[in-house]
Homo-oligomer: A and B are copies of this chain.
Amino acid sequence: MAVYTEVSDDELAAFLSGYDLGHVMSCKGIAEGVENTNYLLHMERGHFILTLYEKRVEEGDLPFFLGLMEHLSERGVSCPLPVHNARGAALGRLGGRPAALVTFLEGMSVRRPEARHCAMVGEALARLHSAGADFGLSRPNALSVEGWSELLGNAQASADKVAPGLAIALAGELAYLQKNWPTDLPAGVIHADLFPDNVFFLGGALSGLIDFYFACNDFFAYDLAICLNAWCFEQDSSFNVTKGMALLDAYARARPLSQAEVDALPILARGSALRFLLTRLVDWLDARDGALVKKKDPVEYLKKLRFHQQASSARDYGYMR
């Protein structure tokens, strides 16, 4: 949550004059999204989110992200829809940054997900995977197994501060994953960051998915493993198998899992736990001054990783089909 880039009223007015949305009636910097600066805009024609893309987002990836949101929206996935300006472009520049306007989604994220939320997320994730199948662009996942060596290098200093010997333990885990990582699972566009912060609910139903800025091409079941990590552990880092069952069952009803995907769940869960553990370790010592980034505790993911290291099959996550 951060406002990294402040925008003057003149710059904002000039930027918005390129859109057919009427006058701006209010503009509030919102504490949402760790990667970018977001403003909630009230225009005469409605409410929108204005995003200024900060350094961590590659400008060359923006057509993929914005195109994907548009593609998914058109196929009935409730997500922010990029607004095109009068020249037809979804991407502009503001405050020296690439910038885009997207529609505002109503809804609230849940702090403490229940099994019913996990089920709704499982179904939405499966629908996202299906809806993305015919998306024309692709983007490799820089944060999958090939990218973890470099991340581990960057995380080493933090790792030993978090727990002595952790860097070596992580190197061992990485070697195991590199050796055993699956190579031939159903793949396509995945969200790759579908944490509770990025899912809105309204009136007891899932109202939308946001923050597609880690989306990429990878195994569908890896996305599901990320959700197991993000949704199905309790505050004390114990795994809630009822939530796991709800998530996996709802996913599989909407998009059946192959046996290979089911068999791969434990290792995919290990990999995704390592991925978030590594990025949290890197971020731990690297938050920019002057902006509010609530640092996330790496230890949470160390505990999750240890759970996955003990898991022997998808049944340990509640998959009963």
In this complex, what residue of B is CB-closest to A203? B23
**A10-B111, A112-B10 are contacts. A28–B23 as well, Cβ < 8 Å?**
no
Decide: A8 and B294 in contact? CB cutoff 8 A: no
Residues in B whose Cβ lies below 8 Å from that of A115: none
A184 vs B19: C-alpha distance when bound (angstroms): 55
CB under 8 Å from chain B, chain A span 78-115: 104-112
Decide: A2 and B292 in contact? CB cutoff 8 A: yes
Copies in the complex: 2
A29 vs B32: C-alpha distance when bound (angstroms): 7
Residues in B whose Cβ lies below 8 Å from that of A12: 108
Decide: A202 and B25 in contact? CB cutoff 8 A: yes
Residues in B whose Cβ lies below 8 Å from that of A112: 8-10
A116 vs B39: C-alpha distance when bound (angstroms): 27
Interface status of A27 (Cβ within 8 A of chain B): yes
Residues in B whose Cβ lies below 8 Å from that of A32: 28-29
- Nearest-Cβ distance from residue A45 to partner chain B, whole angstroms: 14
A300 vs B23: C-alpha distance when bound (angstroms): 33
- Is chain A's interface secondary structure helix, strand, loop, or mixed overall? loop
Interface status of A205 (Cβ within 8 A of chain B): no
A9-31 vs B, CB cutoff 8 Å, 1 = contact: the mask equals 11010000000000111111111
Interface status of A52 (Cβ within 8 A of chain B): no
A30 vs B294: C-alpha distance when bound (angstroms): 15
**A110-B9, A292-B291 are contacts. A28–B31 as well, Cβ < 8 Å?**
yes
- Nearest-Cβ distance from residue A15 to partner chain B, whole angstroms: 13
Q: Which of these, B1, B8, B203, contacts A3 with CB under 8 Å?
A: B1
Decide: B30 and A28 in contact? CB cutoff 8 A: yes
Residues in B whose Cβ lies below 8 Å from that of A291: 292
A201-215 vs B, CB cutoff 8 Å, 1 = contact: the mask equals 011000000000000
Interface status of A221 (Cβ within 8 A of chain B): no
**A30-B40, A40-B40 are contacts. A25–B292 as well, Cβ < 8 Å?**
no
13 A-B Cβ contacts within 8 A? Answer: A1-B3, A2-B292, A10-B111, A12-B108, A23-B203, A26-B104, A28-B30, A28-B31, A29-B31, A30-B30, A30-B40, A290-B292, A292-B292
Residues of chain A whose beta carbon lies under 8 Å from any beta carbon of chain B: 1-3, 8-10, 12, 23-32, 40, 42, 104-112, 200, 202-203, 290-292, 294
